[in-house]
Structure formats: structure tokens, C-alpha cells
């Protein structure tokens, strides 16, 4: 049997659990060319590390990132830490000869993303692979939407609309977290969830955003600080700290295929829990993907007789649909966590076969340039700002 691929995951929070699910489940449903082994979870908090290892089946826990990537028996490094650590960790892991998965957004700045992409290209020449974790690409319905668009289902694309709506910050007394600190997170709703909408819209259409005109708002400028050692469910004290990121971002976009785009990202959309929506309209039809209805697509065929027109629902649960054959019988729905198993499947296959996984660090760098252009446009009030500047 081929040697297993031993994985070190850096980070022990929410995304650590999501990635752990992917590493644990993928080899049980997919026939992988090499078996990924959950070797070590790394984080600064020893107690959280031990809890993560015990809950998810990591063989070891460590507080030492440098020592972990120096180990000869580690093949893959999976980075699920806040954005301010991505560049240094990913570059160090790549230079150590480790294959790398890094969560989105790729970095906190364009310069960091550029350096990461350059390191990835240098490592690729040595056979070392890397990928950025835009996991929603691997929802079967999203991938099928890309196939339909590529096959001409909507004809010439005219308009692209992307939204990512959440409401978990709509309570002004919700506590301050690292996601509200620009030094750690890079940006707020724009980078945290807007990056997903940008990447998924580009993935489905095959087009890239070239110019933007954006606005950004921060509705709540300070929040209560949790007492030391308490999680989000803990009680906040009287101390308040500044919110240094955006609560809301929206922008018009021009894409290189000639289509017009409109994007919105907010964590203040009262009543919306995780509404990622991509709508593509063309001269022959339209497609709508909605993560809150993630096992189906809405499709409009403008070439049908007028008496038969209207959006129809396509259930993406058949074995012929992307990834679905490995799971349950038709109609037995998949959920949020399955895309992380699909990510593991694709990454392990790429590493084992010596091919380039996707999305690449270069793809992440391109999205980073869009985020930066939106922020520059919003700050300057510019009508249009290029993503290439």
C-alpha cells in the first residue's frame, strides 16, 4: 500500500472542527490513492489542543508550530488560524517541503498574498502542492452550476449577483472577537464572507472581477470585551473595545467577460443565518445557487415557450452530479460539512498524482486584490478602482 499522508492542522477553533470533520470522513467514503492520517493538531492553548485532539481523533497535540513543520514524518500542513498568521505559516511550511492547505481569505493584505503565491510557485517546482480553502466551490450544486454555465445553459452572461448575508453581529452587545480586529482579521464582512461570494461567482461564471466601486460601513463601533478565558457564550464585563473592521460591504463590479456584477456582504442581515447566493443571468437563461437550499439549483430557460417559462428547481442529489455518488441514495441530502470532505478528497488526489489542486494560491491572491480594491474604492469614494493596481 502507498505510504499514508500525515497531516498537521494548525488551529483549534471553529474551522479546526470543520477541517477535522473533512480529514476524518473523506477516506471512509472516497477511495483515496493515499490515506490521510490525522497526526497532530497545533495551537497556542494546550487545553484547547488536547480537547480538539480528543474530540476529533488527532493522534497528538502540540504548541510548537516550528517543531511540527520540521518533522520529517509530516506531509501536509492545514492552516486554519486567523488571517494575520497565514503568510508566515504557509511560507514556512512550503519552504519546509510540506503540502499546504490555507483557509480563506488567503492573507490580510495584497503583499502577503503575493509573497505566499510566490512561495507556492517556488515550492511547486519542487513538487510541493498548495491550495486555498474556498470550500463552497465543492458544494455539488455550486459545481453543477459551473458546469451548466460552461455548457451554455444561460448563454452570454450579462449580470452576476453575489450576496453573503449573516446576522450573528446584529446584536450590538455581542462580544468583541478577533474577527472584529483588523490587525488579526484583515477586514470584516468583506474578507470573512465577501471573499466567498467573490470566489464562488468567479468560479461559476469563469470570469474575473477587474474593476469595482464600493461602499463599506461599520454600524457598531465598539463592543463588550469578554472576561479572560471565556468563550462567546461567557458574560462580558464593563470594558468595551473598538471594532476596527467593516460590518457591511457592497460593490458594483466589472468582469473580464463583459458582464456586470453586484456584490454584498454583511453580518447584520437580521434573520439571515448563512445566505450565500450567486445568481447568473444571460441572454438564454439564469441560474441561482443559494447555500440555504444547498442541495438544489434554480434554473430559468429563456428559450422555452412562453407558456412554459419560469424558474424550476433542480435537485442536485443524483449519482451523476459532482461528488454525490460517494454518499447516500438520491434525495438524501448533504450538508455544510460534506464540502470539507470533498476538499480533502481533491487535495489528497492532487498530492498523490502530482497535479495542481484548485483553487490555487494564485486564485486566492486574485480574490485578495478584489478585496483590496473594494476597500480602496470605499475609502477614496472613487467611482471605479482597478483590481490590478
Q: What is the mean pLDDT of residues 204-229?
A: 92
Sorted by sequence, the CB contacts under 8 Å of residue 157 that are 6+ apart come out as 149, 205, 207, 257, 258, 259, 280, 281, 282
Residues 129-144: tens digit of each pLDDT:
999 999 999 999 999 9
Residues 5-20: tens digit of each pLDDT:
999 999 999 999 999 9
Cβ atoms of 3 and 16 within 8 Å: the answer is: no
pLDDT of residue 335: 97
Give the residue, 300 or 389, on which the prediction is more confident: 300
pLDDT of residue 237: 60
Stated as kind and residue range, the H or E segment containing 262 is strand 260-266
192 pLDDT above the threshold of 70:
yes
pLDDT of residue 16: 97
Is 12 in a helix, a strand, or coil?
coil
Residues 80-120: tens digit of each pLDDT:
999 999 999 999 999 999 999 999 999 999 999 999 999 99
pLDDT of residue 238: 73
233 pLDDT above the threshold of 80:
no
Q: What is the mean pLDDT of residues 171-176?
A: 94
Tell which residue, 361, 338, 313, 362, has the closest CA to residue 137: 338
Q: How confident is the model at residue 228 (pLDDT cuts 50, 70, 90)?
A: low
d(CA 53, CA 43): 11
Q: What is the mean pLDDT of residues 323-330?
A: 96
Tell which residue, 223, 257, 248, 252, has the closest CA to residue 237: 223
Cβ atoms of 273 and 166 within 8 Å: the answer is: yes
Q: What are phi and psi of 185, to 5 degrees?
A: -95, -20
Residue spans of alpha helices (H) in the chain: 14-29, 46-56, 65-69, 86-95, 110-124, 140-150, 182-185, 189, 195-205, 338-353, 361-380
As a dihedral over the C-alpha atoms of residue 204, residue 209, residue 214, residue 217, rounded to 10 degrees, the angle is: 50
Q: What domains can be seen in the chain, in order of their start residue?
A: 5-136 (3.40.50.720), 139-355+368-380 (3.30.360.10)
pLDDT of residue 226: 81
d(CA 91, CA 36): 22
Q: How confident is the model at residue 1 (pLDDT cuts 50, 70, 90)?
A: confident
Question: From the CB of residue 66, how many other CB atoms can be counted at a distance below 10 Å?
Answer: 10
Q: What is the pTM of this model?
A: 0.95
pLDDT of residue 269: 98
Q: What is the mean pLDDT of residues 330-352?
A: 97
229 pLDDT above the threshold of 60:
no
pLDDT of residue 236: 52
pLDDT of residue 383: 86
Q: Which residue has the cell 470594558?
A: 239
285 pLDDT above the threshold of 80:
yes
Environment class of 292 (CB within 10 Å of its CB; exposed 0-12, middle 13-18, buried 19+): exposed
CA distances from 305 to 79, 140, 236, 302, 310 (A): 51, 29, 60, 8, 10
All 3 cell numbers of residue 181?
480586529
Amino acid at each position: 500500500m502507498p505510504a499514508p499522508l500525515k497531516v498537521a492542522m494548525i488551529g483549534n477553533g471553529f474551522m479546526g472542527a470543520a477541517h477535522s470533520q473533512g480529514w476524518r470522513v473523506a477516506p471512509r467514503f472516497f477511495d483515496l490513492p493515499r490515506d490521510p492520517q490525522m497526526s497532530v493538531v497545533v495551537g497556542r492553548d494546550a487545553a484547547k489542543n488536547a480537547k480538539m485532539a480528543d474530540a476529533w481523533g488527532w493522534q497528538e497535540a502540540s504548541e510548537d508550530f516550528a517543531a511540527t513543520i520540521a518533522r520529517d514524518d509530516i506531509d501536509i500542513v492545514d492552516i486554519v488560524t486567523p488571517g494575520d498568521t497565514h503568510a508566515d505559516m504557509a511560507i514556512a511550511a512550503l519552504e519546509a517541503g510540506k503540502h499546504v492547505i490555507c483557509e480563506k481569505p488567503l492573507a490580510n493584505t495584497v503583499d502577503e498574498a503575493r509573497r505566499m503565491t510566490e512561495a507556492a510557485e517556488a515550492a511547486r517546482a519542487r513538487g510541493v502542492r498548495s491550495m486555498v480553502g474556498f470550500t463552497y466551490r465543492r458544494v455539488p450544486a455550486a459545481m453543477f452550476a459551473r458546469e451548466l454555465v460552461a455548457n451554455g445553459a444561460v448563454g452570454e452572461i450579462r449580470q452576476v449577483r453575489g450576496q453573503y448575508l449573516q446576522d450573528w453581529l446584529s446584536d450590538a452587545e455581542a462580544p468583541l472577537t478577533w474577527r472584529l480586529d483588523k490587525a488579526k482579521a484583515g477586514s470584516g464582512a468583506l474578507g470573512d464572507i465577501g471573499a466567498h461570494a467573490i470566489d464562488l461567482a468567479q468560479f461559476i461564471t469563469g470570469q474575473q472581477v477587474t474593476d469595482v466601486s464600493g461602499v463599506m460601513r461599520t454600524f457598531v463601533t465598539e463592543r463588550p470585551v469578554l472576561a479572560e478565558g471565556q468563550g462567546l457564550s461567557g458574560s462580558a464585563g464593563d470594558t468595551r473595545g473598538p471594532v476596527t473592521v467593516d460590518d457591511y460591504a457592497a460593490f458594483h463590479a466589472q468582469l473580464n467577460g463583459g458582464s456586470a456584477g453586484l456584490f454584498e456582504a454583511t453580518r447584520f442581515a437580521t434573520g439571515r443565518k448563512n445566505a450565500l447566493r450567486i445568481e447568473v443571468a444571460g441572454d438564454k437563461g439564469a441560474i441561482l445557487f443559494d447555500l440555504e437550499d444547498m442541495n438544489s439549483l434554480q434554473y430559468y430557460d429563456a428559450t422555452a415557450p412562453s407558456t412554459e417559462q419560469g424558474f424550476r428547481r433542480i435537485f442536485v442529489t443524483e449519482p451523476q452530479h459532482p461528488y454525490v455518488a460517494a454518499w447516500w441514495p438520491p434525495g438524501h441530502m448533504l450538508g455544510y460539512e460534506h464540502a470539507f470532505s470533498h476538499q480533502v478528497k481533491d487535495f489528497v488526489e492532487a498530492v498523490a498524482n502530482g497535479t495542481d489542486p484548485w483553487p490555487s494560491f494564485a486564485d486566492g491572491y486574485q480574490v485578495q486584490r478584489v478585496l483590496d480594491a473594494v476597500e480602496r474604492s470605499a475609502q477614496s469614494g472613487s467611482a471605479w478602482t482597478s483590481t490590478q493596481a
